[in-house]
Amino acid sequence: HSPLHLVDVSSRELPVADAIKTYLFNSQLVSKADGSMHMIAPKEAEDTTTARSTIERIVQDSQNPIASVSFVNLRQSMRNGGG
């Protein structure tokens, strides 16, 4: 089993309104063969300064396995309830 890694995000760093608007916590983590993880985040997170800065901090932090990120346009899916 892999150890649990917690990532703390304060409301000062990412206001709750921005977290909701960007769907940041709907991001997906994918394990890579080298043991690192890749974050797949909504495009809204890339377009919002606070969310993008939060993600950049997380990716740069060597204390967690999240080493890379890509942003995906999920607007149509999110507006229609998924799918």
* Residue-wise pLDDT tens digits, 16-73: 999 999 999 999 999 999 999 999 999 999 999 999 999 999 999 999 999 999 999 9
Half-sphere exposure of 25 (CA within 13 A, CB side): 11
Short-list 55, 60, 1, CA closest to 28: 55
Q: Please state, as a whole number, how many other Cβ atoms lie within 10 Å of the Cβ of residue 16.
A: 8
Secondary element (H or E) of residue 66: strand 66-72
- Kindly report the pTM of this predicted structure: 0.85
Collapsed DSSP state (helix, strand, coil) of residue 20: helix
